[in-house]
Amino acid sequence: MEAIQEFLADILPLVRLGAIFLGAYAVLLWAASVLWAYRDIRRRTEDISVQVLAVGIVLLLPFLGIPLHLILRPPQTLAEKYERTLEEEFLRRDLEEQFVCPECQRPIEPDFILCPHCHTQLRRRCDSCQKVIDLTWRICPYCGHSQAGSAPTVRADAHPIASLVEGSRK
């Protein structure tokens, strides 16, 4: 019996030391969970009351607060919400596919020949079939008729500034 008491007396300081280390580890783990909850909730909401509530739950309920926080926190971070909003906006724009005037950037219909706001010529009618075609097309894709008033190709030597530059080099 004395041997057991002696053994327990020898091992008791080691058990106390182990308990101190285990308690310190638990306190550090609890503090790290509070810090994690604070950082996590700040990424998920800008509402101060929700942030205080989330950190308070983790702070006041050690080790039980983390599962509660995981259940109650908003499902998406603010960055994910913003990305989703941008994606939805671009998808909506793709579905709507608004045409705009290249000059004044106001909305126009796809078959407008002139911009009703700034009077910029957007398209023209085919000489043969009278369908609306692009200004730069030399041939009508609907009837195959060659366009008389097609946009001419500008050569570099025909440009007035290019001729001035060429003249200064000589």
Q: What are the tens digits of pLDDT across the range 8-28?
A: 888 999 999 999 999 999 999
As a three-state string, the secondary structure of 47-70 is CHHHHHHHHHHHHHCCCCHHHHHH
Residue 119, pLDDT > 70, answer yes
Contact 37, 55 (CB under 8 A): yes
N-term to C-term CA, the chain: 118
Residue 97 has a pLDDT of: 64
Contact 55, 35 (CB under 8 A): no
The arithmetic mean of pLDDT across residues 61-76, rounded, is: 93
Residue 96 has a pLDDT of: 67
Residue 80 has a pLDDT of: 95
% the chain with pLDDT above 70? 85
Residue 7 has a pLDDT of: 86
Residue 77 has a pLDDT of: 94
